[in-house]
Amino acid sequence: MTSHSDIYQIPSPQETSNKSENTSVTSPLLSPRKRLAIKGFNAAQMAIAESYINGLEVPDAMLKGLFDVAMPILFKHFPFLLASYNWVLKETDELTKNGEELMKIQYDRPQQMLNLMLGEGNIIYPKYSTGLWENGAKNLEESQMHMIDGVIERLGIKDGDHILDFGCGWGCVPNYILSKFPNVRFTGINLSHEQCNYMRRKMQDSTSYLSSGRFTLFEGNLNDANFEEKFDKILSIGVFCHVGNLTKAFQKLATFLKPKGRVLIHIITVKTPNHVTSPFTHKYIFPHGRYWNYDAVPNCCGDLKTVQRWYLNGMNYSQTLSAWLANFDKNQAVIQTLDYGVDYAHFRRIWRLYLIWFISNFASGDGEYNGNGQYLMVHA
Ligand SMILES: C[S@@+](CC[C@H](N)C(=O)[O-])C[C@H]1O[C@@H](n2cnc3c(N)ncnc32)[C@H](O)[C@@H]1O
């Protein structure tokens, strides 16, 4: 793997104004000709994806080969084709859109399937975001520990901090950090009822740090969250692809933060002029999901400002997804018995297409087009 992570300091206003096409929350609007080309591209993409989902036999190697060739070309030469809908280019009115649909299609899927795919250990609970492999992690669990260690360092977590985790998944990050700091307290927000049930069980399990009395769970949407107490630190890992309005989200998070508090936003990002999505993921995987351009967060003028950012090379996520695909395939005996509300063969093809495609996306251009961004933010 040729991956590395680069540290970027925020460009000066002078540098920013020289790169105006790449630096605002709103991506450039597209001409009618480009829109027409996107329409054709979307139709072709869905025709191929749905033929596969409906049973067209294509060996994995051929499918992956297709994405390995096409994605770098699209990222490099035709990124506008990945702006599948007008809404992806600009902030939506709502902070998040269609959360219930997202939970149904993605996060509240049979939990046994998700847990087997993501992996589950004594400290590292299922974690649905990239691991960090570039420092020599030997397996998925270790890669996730390395990733969280990096978050602890960049956010400057200290014992005694009260931390808010927006979109806390199955409580993996809180559990790991609580295990390292005896006086840290965590509050987790999650809209997924099934994931919250998992954490509620752990909160009753004496072997879990979530049962230490230092973890509080808020089941609900960030839109509706309100807290009396302010937090020393706020983190959010892998959630902002579901946030349609950065300005409103940062306004909200700023109201939860102490005056000298810090925020670390970790998101999937693209180094293309426009934000991107795809009709396949919008319909089958992440409704209204989008990948923000790498400059979108620091250029979002609002109540929080970015003071430092890091680009985590996409090869890390590509390797994580490969581990998830291997887990998914390895655990077929159990996974195929669960109820997905649709014919299992159909579901399996949707899910494998998603994983195989994303493995290629993140590996495109040696991981330099599609990776993860981490943004350290403070009150503006
Ligand atoms: C990709 S997962 C990442 C989970 C966790 N941060 C991790 O790294 O494992 C995204 C999480 O955000 C939650 N989520 C998505 N939209 C949300 C919203 N509007 N309000 C609260 N939670 C949300 C999902 O239920 C899920 O737990």
Choose which residue among 132, 190, 246 to substitute to test ligand 1 binding: the one with the highest number of ligand atoms within 8 A of its C-beta.
190
E strands, 199-250, are 215-219, 231-237
Residue 139 belongs to a domain with what CATH number? 3.40.50.150
Q: Whose CA is nearest to atom 12 of ligand 1?
A: 167
190 lines ligand 1 (CB under 6 A): yes
Compute the distance from residue 238 Cα to the ligand 1 centre, in Å.
7
φ, ψ (nearest 5 deg) of residue 322: -65, -40
User: Which is the closest atom of ligand 1 to the Cα of 236?
Assistant: 6
Contacts of residue 183, defined as CB under 8 A and 6 or more positions apart, other chains included, come to: 159, 160, 214
Compute the distance from residue 43 Cα to the ligand 1 centre, in Å.
30
Compute the distance from residue 267 Cα to the ligand 1 centre, in Å.
11
User: Which is the closest atom of ligand 1 to the Cα of 99?
Assistant: 19
Compute the distance from residue 289 Cα to the ligand 1 centre, in Å.
12
- Give the number of domains in the chain: 1
Domain that holds residue 159: 5-379
Q: Whose CA is nearest to atom 9 of ligand 1?
A: 127
Compute the distance from residue 196 Cα to the ligand 1 centre, in Å.
11
Choose which residue among 155, 187, 239 to substitute to test ligand 1 binding: the one with the highest number of ligand atoms within 8 A of its C-beta.
239
What does each C-alpha distance from 358 to 22, 67, 228, 262, 322 come to in angstroms? 23, 9, 40, 31, 9
Please report the sign of the dihedral spanned by the C-alpha atoms of residue 166, residue 164, residue 172, residue 8: positive
Compute the distance from residue 190 Cα to the ligand 1 centre, in Å.
6
Which DSSP category does 135 fall into? T
- In whole angstroms, what separates CA 36 from the centre of its chain? 29
User: Would you state the pLDDT for residue 12?
Assistant: 47
User: Would you state the pLDDT for residue 369?
Assistant: 97
Token couple for 326: 């291997």
User: Would you state the pLDDT for residue 4?
Assistant: 47
Q: How wide is the angle at C-alpha 137 spanned by C-alphas 176 and 319, nearest 5°? A: 100
Compute the distance from residue 188 Cα to the ligand 1 centre, in Å.
10
- In whole angstroms, what separates CA 157 from the centre of its chain? 21
107 lines ligand 1 (CB under 6 A): yes
What's the CA gap between 44 and 84, in Å, rounded?
A: 12
354 lines ligand 1 (CB under 6 A): no
User: Would you state the pLDDT for residue 10?
Assistant: 53
Q: Whose CA is nearest to atom 27 of ligand 1?
A: 169
Choose which residue among 242, 245, 248, 252 to substitute to test ligand 1 binding: the one with the highest number of ligand atoms within 8 A of its C-beta.
242
User: Would you state the pLDDT for residue 13?
Assistant: 41
Compute the distance from residue 230 Cα to the ligand 1 centre, in Å.
21
287 lines ligand 1 (CB under 6 A): no
Please report, in tens digits, the pLDDT of each residue of the chain (380 residues total). 444 444 545 554 444 433 434 447 877 778 999 999 999 999 999 999 999 999 999 999 999 999 999 999 999 999 999 999 999 999 998 888 889 899 999 999 999 999 999 999 999 999 999 999 999 999 999 999 999 999 999 999 999 999 999 999 999 999 999 999 999 999 999 999 999 999 999 999 999 999 999 999 999 999 899 999 999 999 999 999 999 999 999 999 999 999 999 999 999 999 999 999 999 999 999 999 999 999 999 999 789 999 999 999 999 999 999 999 999 999 999 999 999 999 999 999 999 999 999 999 999 999 999 999 999 999 99
